[in-house]
Structure 1
Amino acid sequence: MPIRADSRLHTVSLWRVLGGLREGGPLGLMERTGRQAQGTLTRVDLGAFRPFLVIHPDHLRHVLRDRGENYRRGAMMWKPMSRLTGLGIAGEGPQWQASRRLWCKALSGRSAHTAADTTAPSIAGAVADLEKRVAAGATVDALVEMTRIVLRIINPVFFGSRIPQAQCDRLAAAVTVAFGSLLWRMALPFVPLAVPLPGDRAFGRATRTVDEILLPLIRRARHTPRSGPDLMSLLLEGGRTDGRPLSDEHIAQDIVALFVAGSESSALTLTWLWVALESEPGIVAELRREADEVLRGGPPRREHVRELVLTRRVLAEVCRLHAVAWAVPRTAAADDVIDGVSVPAGATLVLSPYLTHRLPEFWEQPLRFDPDRFTEERVRDRHPLAYLPFGDGPHQCVGQSFFLQEAALVVATMLSRLRFAVPGRAVPRAAVALRPRDRVDLVLTPRR
């Protein structure tokens, strides 16, 4: 079905696309397109590939909720990713249903409380180690240090500390390389695997490392089972909807998929937090006062999360301005109409939380850092799809609550023990995730 001319459809020509890419790269092009469209459904001309850009909350509700069954994870991102993450929690259909059921069980209710009790001492130990290493004052790589802290948290929660921390770090490094090397495959999903693209060799080496670490670990755990709250135990004890156990490969791929969300995304968000706070000394003073009042000089505990009200608002605002999942594709399974615009079967839609979070209609002075946007009253009065850093609909991130509580405890613990500065300027780069273009220097000084 051809796309008809419609006043509700904004179009970006191929020449404007090429000019925009030269001026500011993919992210700059997206930002300019978002400002011009102001929420209008947009079709971007990339030659043979003409995706729709979807950023208005009403349109997002149609795609993610009202007609969610029609908009599936298509070839643009998910097909290349499936080589790394499989068709379980990162896919669709029966395998996805089995994985999601188990992950939701693992990251909610009593299991979530047990995980939180496990993460608190991990956070205390990781920050204490960092404090020792910067005892004389030091400049560190923010993303490296945030990743190191997050991995200390993830090891017991994911694996029940079945592997040494050095091996967990090696696994994370391999997953990061594999995930980062998929960019060309995602940009050119129609290119056969037999045709080499940049990143293919790095992907192959990294995935072999992942398999060498995870598959023997899963086999050992299966033959020496133990009941525990860690995610690997829950996956081994769980099964498919038909009652059969999950295969070793399925469990490994699910762990990799959640490893990306649990480690890289968390570490990136914490890195962006220090960048954002550098120009907000008043907010930093309030955060440190809250951390001192809640922690009282002691280690963090699960029950502290509820009291860290400002810290959680600051994290929410960082997730708004620096949505790590900056663009998420969907594919229309059947013809549809969105706000009067015809969308043909097979069309690609790109949902961009990064742009939705900058719509002036829903966010006054959208580029200003303002944690008070997330008071209970203002959240209640806002469109429910105006804020979606963790997605929405059936595929909404299952680890949202876990991330927010672990991140709040990390921030409070660091501020209670360390002073910080970010001397440089961090420029975002639109890779698979929203990353800093260059290293972010973080200057740390112990308070005591």
Structure 2
Amino acid sequence: METNAIEVPTADGLPLLGSLLDLRRDPLGAYERARSEHGDVVRIVSGPPGLRTTIHFVFSAAGAQQVLAGQSANFRKDDRFSLEMRQTFGNGLLSSLDDDHIRQRRLLSPLFTKKRVAEYATTVCDEVDALCAAWEADPGRRPDLNEDMSRLTVRMITRILFGADAEQAEDVVRHCMPVLGTYTLRRGLMPLNLPRSFPTPANRRARAAQRELHALCDRLIEQRRRGGASDHEAGTDLLTLLINARSDEDTPLTDEELRDQVLVFLLAGSDTTATSLTFTMYLLARHQDVQDSVRDEVRSVLGGRRPTPADLDEVPTVERVLKEAMRLYPAAPVLIRRAVRSTVVDGHAIPAGAYVYVSPWVTHRHPSYWPDPQRFLPDRFRPEEESHRPRYAWFPLGGGPRSCIGNHFAMLQMKLATATLLQRYRFAEAPPRVPLEVGVTIRAARAVECSLSPVGHVSADILPRPR
């Protein structure tokens, strides 16, 4: 370690509890205050003596790049929260380590290339059309973006994973995933937990939800192994592709590994995309000038027809709007690692064994990279603007060797959905502020209602189809 490394300052806290109350009341605000008062690398101490947790927060773009990419070998994903994630959702790509992670990524990467995920565009657009049909069937209702984008993304990921068997999966996923996400977060943040085998109400609810999800996945995996998928989508759904995934260096995924991957995709493919779409449409409803500009671009390219992957490069404003929404509301507000050896990060000494959090939430609001950071300004993501910023000033999908494998898939979903919705509707009258619920991901803590009005003629090929 460099001998001239700076000692990490400690954020102010109470004598007995440290920053525990601040972190429970308003964790995102506590992170932001720590940066503004103490700088880009800060220690936050939480909990009573004997049960204290010390976290080293890294808020600079350079520091985030070191932790996630440049010195990633010094930072492992084996912290307390990641252990709880493994116990809840299995040893899938999100939480696996070392050789397991390398093997899984080699097997799965070919299934998530930009060209490969483009094959799911029809499914994505079908589900967006179904949402539009539901809105038009009840024209007096003000849509709740929080609920409707959540339902949309669950339907998209279950259709893509399970094909024609999505109907039996949707209700299970929508019921079980929030239970397990909340449970895992609480255990990950507590300095001391009762064993999962103890019959507490929380343990019993989590075990029931886990059993229900496992039973669903195991049943569908067995069905695919027998070649018994139920319609023309059989053989093309993602579950079948996972079963058939091969590489020259690796053995195929076992049934347990398949189940773990499916659980990870259900978690990441629904919650994170739902958050991004909810806040994209919310911000557009609050900024009519931006919404009109994006709509004009979309309609000039599509002329009322359904978008395809080939169209997306022709509507760059859609991507800029999505990126700016993901800057302001990154679905994962922190990414957690543990230092396996003493390391200098952004000039500060991080000791071996320390928990290290990098925070998209805070870095995305850092005034060194984002002038007037609280404002919604999609033009920040014009190429000439992006070229002047550090690579890790914006990293909502992570980075380095553990970056999100589904980044092309997520952007495809969101671009197609945003283009389709704006071509058909004007969103307005959204609330001035949306309180947040901070869990494994962030999401709106209550309904995000807005008004919805059609914006003119659309081609017959994008009208809602009977289901």
How does the TM-score come out when normalised to structure 1? 0.91
Query: Deviation at 1:200?
Result: 2.5
Query: Deviation at 1:293?
Result: 1.6
CA distance in 2, matches of 1:128, 1:21: 39
Give the share of equivalent positions with the same residue, in percent. Answer: 28
The residue number in structure 2 matching 1:54 is: 58
CA distance in 2, matches of 1:88, 1:189: 25
CA distance in 2, matches of 1:189, 1:137: 48
Q: 1:52 to 1:196 in 2, by over 3 A?
A: farther
Q: 2:181 aligns with which of 168, 179, 182?
A: 179
1:95 touches 1:240 (CA, 8 Å); kept in 2? no
The residue number in structure 2 matching 1:328 is: 335
CA distance in 2, matches of 1:397, 1:28: 26
Deviations 1:23-63 (A, max 9, x none): x5222212211222342x10111242111001111111221
Query: Deviation at 1:422?
Result: 4.3
The aligned amino acid for 1:34 is R
The aligned amino acid for 2:150 is T
**Pairwise mapping of residues 114-153 of structure 1 onto structure 2 (< 5 A)?**
114-123=119-128, 125-134=129-138, 136-153=139-156
1:137 touches 1:445 (CA, 8 Å); kept in 2? no
The residue number in structure 1 matching 2:112 is: 107
Q: 1:338 to 1:395 in 2, by over 3 A?
A: same
- SS of aligned partner of 1:299: coil
The residue number in structure 2 matching 1:44 is: 44
- SS of aligned partner of 2:437: strand
The residue number in structure 2 matching 1:237 is: 244
Deviations 1:171-204 (A, max 9, x none): 2432232122222111026534356777323221
Q: CA RMSD in A?
A: 2.6
The residue number in structure 1 matching 2:460 is: none
2:197 touches 2:203 (CA, 8 Å); kept in 1? no
Query: Deviation at 1:229?
Result: 4.2
The aligned amino acid for 2:179 is V
2:390 pairs with 1:383: yes
The residue number in structure 2 matching 1:71 is: 75
2:321 pairs with 1:317: no
2:249 pairs with 1:247: no
The aligned amino acid for 1:317 is E
CA distance in 2, matches of 1:242, 1:104: 14
Q: 1:367 to 1:19 in 2, by over 3 A?
A: same
Which sits farther off after the overlay, 279-288 or 89-98?
A: 89-98
The aligned amino acid for 1:222 is R
1:55 touches 1:351 (CA, 8 Å); kept in 2? yes
- SS of aligned partner of 1:111: helix
CA distance in 2, matches of 1:133, 1:8: 61
Deviations 1:125-172 (A, max 9, x none): 3243234333x231132122112222332234222x140425334324
2:10 pairs with 1:11: yes
- SS of aligned partner of 2:165: coil
The residue number in structure 1 matching 2:373 is: 366
Q: 1:197 to 1:140 in 2, by over 3 A?
A: farther
2:125 touches 2:416 (CA, 8 Å); kept in 1? yes
Q: 1:390 to 1:380 in 2, by over 3 A?
A: same
1:52 touches 1:350 (CA, 8 Å); kept in 2? yes
Q: 2:421 aligns with which of 390, 403, 414?
A: 414
**Pairwise mapping of residues 329-344 of structure 1 onto structure 2 (< 5 A)?**
329-344=336-351
The aligned amino acid for 2:189 is A
CA distance in 2, matches of 1:278, 1:122: 22
CA distance in 2, matches of 1:284, 1:109: 27
CA distance in 2, matches of 1:5, 1:50: 23
The residue number in structure 2 matching 1:292 is: 299
Query: Deviation at 1:77?
Result: 1.6
Count, aligned residues: 442
2:430 pairs with 1:426: no
Q: 1:274 to 1:113 in 2, by over 3 A?
A: closer
- SS of aligned partner of 1:429: strand
- SS of aligned partner of 2:286: coil
Query: Deviation at 1:409?
Result: 1.2
CA distance in 2, matches of 1:194, 1:207: 13
Q: 1:168 aligns with which of 170, 190, 200?
A: 170
2:350 pairs with 1:308: no
Deviations 1:340-399 (A, max 9, x none): 433222110011110001111111111111101101111122100111000001110011
